[in-house]
Amino acid sequence: GAVVSQHPSWVICKSGTSVKIECRSLDFQATTMFWYRQFPKQSLMLMATSNEGSKATYEQGVEKDKFLINHASLTLSTLTVTSAHPEDSSFYICSARTLADSYNEQFFGPGTRLTVL
């Protein structure tokens, strides 16, 4: 089955630093990747949608200069949280979809837990 990985699985950083999270589709080519954020005891909230080779589309209220998304290849998307602050601490989840996906599924990664001190 389609597998999506994320790295790192968890990260702790100091306030003001930047953190990069990688999302990889391991056995398929992901034309579209999605980034979600989940705060404790809340549901997943879509942050942005990225298509390979083009700029990401951000949801309302998500700062594109703070959450930099790069989808440079069909198997890799990265999310960089710039100048992270404690309020950015959250569970970040990516998902991927392929043109070959005849069932319209999205395959989700295992998530990355970010803690900003």
User: Which residues contribute to the site for another protein (CB under 8 A)?
Assistant: 4, 6, 34, 36, 42-46, 49, 91, 93, 95, 101, 103-111, 113
Q: What separation in angstroms does the CA of 16 have from each of 19, 20, 87, 92?
A: 10, 13, 12, 18
With respect to another protein, which residue has the nearer C-beta, 17 or 64?
A: 64
- In the complex with another protein, the residue whose CB is nearer, 9 or 83, is 9
CB of 83 to another protein, least distance (A): 26
What is the separation, in whole angstroms, between the first and last Cα of the chain?
Answer: 37
Q: Which of 18/55 has CB closer to another protein? A: 55
Nearest-10 Cα torsion for 82, 94, 78, 100: -160
* Closer residue to another protein, CB minimum distance, 5 or 18: 5
Yes or no: say if 22 and 80 are a contact pair by the CB < 8 Å rule.
no
- Cβ of residue 106: shortest distance to another protein, in angstroms? 6
DSSP class of residue 9 equals S
